[in-house]
Structure 1
Amino acid sequence: MQLNRRRFLSAGAALAGSAVYAGALPGAFAATRDKVRIGMIGTGMRGQTLLRELVRRDDVEIAALCDVEPIMLGRALEQIEKAGKPRPATYGQDRDDFAYRRMLDEGKLDGVIIATPWEWHALMSIDAMQARVPVGCEVVAGVSLQDHFDVLDTQLKTGTPYMLLENVCYRRDVMAVLQMVRKGLFGELVHMQGGYQHDLRAVKFNSGDPARPIGGGAEYGKKGWSEARWRTSHSVRRNGELYPSHGIGPLAMYANINRGNRFTRINSFASKAAGLHDYVVQQGGKDHPNARTQFRLGDIVTTTLSCDNGETILLQHDTSLPRPYSLGFRVQGSKGLWMDINRSVHVEGISKPHAWDDFALWQQQYDHPLWRKHGERAAGAGHGGMDFFVIHAFVEALKQEAPMPIDIYDAITWSAITPLSEQSIALGFQTIDFPDFTGGRWRSRKPIFAFDDRY
């Protein structure tokens, strides 16, 4: 790991100050294209959701699709046909796991979206960047810590743009809070919380029927379908904060991580694992073969991070127990705080003492210009409109040859929380150092996540 760390720091020094180093295309800001040719690797349920946003746009040509599952590839083609768009080239019908490489070589693509199982993200991103095809990668950036070093090393050496498609940064209330943070309404930030608190039991297990991808059984792996085919295995063999970016993304932007601030230390604690076993028994009975599966992932994983500027951050991963969905955001400073779980805010000197304000009125006042501008276009998009914005940001950055708003440093720093948390837990919940993936450049990089009209 030390060798690779030196290698990517050396590459970073060689590229320091250049437009490509900032995540821009070689001719950054020099021109604007009217239309971009996009390819997609992975046309499963998540891929089809993103594809829905792409086919709505007149400035995007879906040039190529790749998937090794014919059913999903067929559904994606139906989407394109119903939208009245030209049929793209297709790859993967032969079930060649590496058919995407032919697509990258032959497609003459302006960008590629990667929406495949996690274990493929790093390799596919590296191959795309080496082919000089800009990447929009679904979360996560990689699985192992080495994956993250390798993805970063490739981006720094090639200068090919990379964006993590983390859509929660575009949630309407999250962006309003960003406005409030930037205007100093919470004072000096002190502590923040977030996480991924989402009952995924019916995602991790189903009957294996392609017509019922959510719930209805206790199968996973080869007998499962959709995410149950690959995602559940991570709960079997890994124990850590497996999906950090939904929680950490907005918090990192509030705290200017990698842009005047950075994570310095991390530790994680994991509870026992009980929820997934109980669910398998509930769905398949105590004699079902999967009732014997030993799950390593703790039902509740709690991760804490310290920052160079003195803030603390708490994340919680909670996907194996019955619960309503919540990301559990809390942003607290010297003058007040916001909490999304009760949709409330308190600002000293404005709110009544020791009383909450309904956040709705504050959100209306500080609604982000992007939501004011594009809210109607985002209506009906996945995840409450957030999927529109994340695709819009990627496409606009490609068209304008501009830096990616969620760049390589953001992607690697947020996603690396997973293997670092696994390491902490394996060491008996020890606190460990958080790598400086920017090689010291965090000190001079400026907060640019302003979501201006380009994005």
Structure 2
Amino acid sequence: MKQFNRRDFLKAAGAVAGAAATASMAGCAGTGSAAGAAATPKAQGQSVIGLIAPKMDVVRVGFIGVGQRGYGHVKRMSYIEGAEIKAICDTHQEVLDRAVDFLVQEGKEKPTAYGDSELAYKDMLARDDIDIVIISTPWRWHAPMAIDTMNSGKHAFVEVPLALTVEEMWEIVDTAERTQKNCMMMENVNYGRDELMVLNMVRQGVFGELLHGEAAYIHELRWQMKEIEHKTGSWRTAWHTRRDGNLYPTHGLGPVSQYMNINRGDRFDYLTSMSSPALGRAAYAQREFPAEHGRNQLKYIAGDMNTTLIKTVNGRSIMVQHDTTTPRPYSRHNLIQGTNGVFAGFPNRIALEHGGNKSFHEWEYDMQPWYDKYDHPLWQKMGAEAERNGGHGGMDFLMFWRMIYCLRNGEALDQDVYDGAAWSVISPLSAQSVANRSESITIPDFTRGAWRTATPLGIVGA
């Protein structure tokens, strides 16, 4: 790996991080402009669609952020053959020690620990014995850390969302193209058994020509408001006071986008969005906290339910919903509809005009015949091990296994920087639409036209 001058790198990285962090915080206060959403900046490098990194016998891994989500990532990565964890960074000493101690107890080489300041991760990035970096930090750090990682000569793997503003996403795309490094947003739901099966069914034409999809993140998370000093609620709660739109669009949208070949034969064209009143968070604060508590001093503006409609260039429609406030069962919708019928999740059900086991006027709820026929090859191969090692039913482990497999075998990743940007940009653009009477907002083409000839994601692992 190319040797980097540590002092020069830290100086350059600091400038990039500062600019990105400023853009990120600007995104906290506002939603950007229509011109920003539609503009396509001049490319600074070559497309990274289908990017294949040189094969790695061993993938050397660094982690930034090992609190709740990141600690699980450390555990799962430690179980994967061909991956070595070299360094870990976190500013919270307790969770940093916990991650290091876990690896030592597992008989692994003790990783170097970093965490004496917010920018300690840059010292880790200055090393030349790390190939990829897993970033699991609060949202505002995703963009600057991903950019710094690529500028240090390493591949970036970032928790969702990829970034917070349109400007940040373009900067990430530009950096990936200029450095020719992978920047994958780790959308784990794409590796769920049901989502993989439906992708296989779509590729085999079970639903006919695709027409419409529905995606969601409906997950009651008010209890996170009680996390004050540490953990997700300590920083995520504030987003309900900063942005009225879809705060977290990618979990449902990622799989539906892969079904529809978004960025690989089709792309998002424009969206329109509206929000319900924002009532639930304030009511919960009044009920659960003393009147003088800080949670009762906040003005919650994010509508309890946000509904965003996306139109694709090829004419398909997608409904995306977000609700982490109201008391209701969890759902990602995961609906895909075509000329021959529909699959919908939560609960799983299917109705087909041709090829089903019932009339299309009735839902089929028994999924076993469909698993028997259409289980994805990846799940057939690794599903048992994925379930054994865990992470949302195994999808987290399978995602990490697949990432390491691609890097060790010289294959393109299943998700690229353009996917992460397209799925994540729905958040700031939905807020812009909500703020302007649900006006239509143009969605950027982060591929700069390359979507027209890009090869759709195949049924990998067959």
TM-score (structure 2 length as normaliser)? 0.88
Query: Does the CA-based 8 Å contact 1:259-1:443 persist in structure 2?
Result: yes
After TM superposition, list the pairs within 5 Å mapping 1:307-318 onto structure 2.
307-318=312-323
Instruction: Say if 1:39 and 1:281 are closer, same or farther in 2 by CA, change over 3 A.
Output: same
Q: Which residue of 2 aligns with 1:326?
A: 331
Deviation per CA, 1:266-300: give whole Å up to 9, x if none.
Answer: 01101111111122122224453422321011100
Residue ranges of structure 1 left out of the alignment (5+ in a row): 207-219
Residue aligned with 1:190, SS: strand
Q: Could you tell me how far 1:395 is from its partner in structure 2? A: 1.3
Deviation per CA, 1:90-113: give whole Å up to 9, x if none.
Answer: 111x2x111111101125211110
After TM superposition, list the pairs within 5 Å mapping 1:271-290 onto structure 2.
271-290=276-295
Q: Does 1:357 align with 2:364?
A: yes
Q: Does 1:441 align with 2:455?
A: no
Instruction: Say if 1:253 and 1:56 are closer, same or farther in 2 by CA, change over 3 A.
Output: same
Mapped to 2, the partners of 1:386 and 1:439 lie a distance apart of 31
Q: Could you tell me how far 1:3 is from its partner in structure 2? A: 9.1
Mapped to 1, the partners of 2:250 and 2:195 lie a distance apart of 14
Mapped to 2, the partners of 1:89 and 1:4 lie a distance apart of 41
Mapped to 2, the partners of 1:345 and 1:7 lie a distance apart of 40
Q: Which residue of 1 aligns with 2:98?
A: 75
Q: Could you tell me how far 1:8 is from its partner in structure 2? A: 4.7
Mapped to 2, the partners of 1:342 and 1:388 lie a distance apart of 23
For residue 11 of structure 1, the aligned residue among 44, 47, 51 is 44
For residue 24 of structure 1, the aligned residue among 11, 28, 52 is 52
Q: Could you tell me how far 1:342 is from its partner in structure 2? A: 3.0
For residue 46 of structure 1, the aligned residue among 63, 66, 69 is 69
Q: Which residue of 2 aligns with 1:168?
A: 189
Mapped to 1, the partners of 2:333 and 2:450 lie a distance apart of 31
Q: Does 1:410 align with 2:419?
A: yes
Q: Does 1:63 align with 2:86?
A: yes
Query: Does the CA-based 8 Å contact 2:67-2:231 persist in structure 1?
Result: yes
Note the aligned Cα RMSD (angstroms).
1.8
Amino acid in the other structure paired with 1:23: L
Q: Could you tell me how far 1:4 is from its partner in structure 2? A: 11
Residue aligned with 1:378, SS: helix
Query: Does the CA-based 8 Å contact 1:5-1:149 persist in structure 2?
Result: no
Amino acid in the other structure paired with 2:276: S
Q: Which residue of 2 aligns with 1:97?
A: 118
Residue aligned with 1:267, SS: strand
Q: Does 1:398 align with 2:407?
A: yes
Q: Could you tell me how far 1:6 is from its partner in structure 2? A: 7.2
For residue 341 of structure 1, the aligned residue among 340, 346, 356 is 346
Mapped to 1, the partners of 2:137 and 2:347 lie a distance apart of 34
For residue 144 of structure 2, the aligned residue among 119, 123, 130 is 123
Q: Could you tell me how far 1:404 is from its partner in structure 2? A: 1.7
TM-score (structure 1 length as normaliser)? 0.90
Query: Does the CA-based 8 Å contact 1:259-1:445 persist in structure 2?
Result: yes
Query: Does the CA-based 8 Å contact 1:235-1:297 persist in structure 2?
Result: yes
Aligned residues: 425
Residue aligned with 1:11, SS: coil
Q: Which residue of 1 aligns with 2:11?
A: none
Q: Does 1:421 align with 2:430?
A: yes
Q: Does 1:379 align with 2:379?
A: no
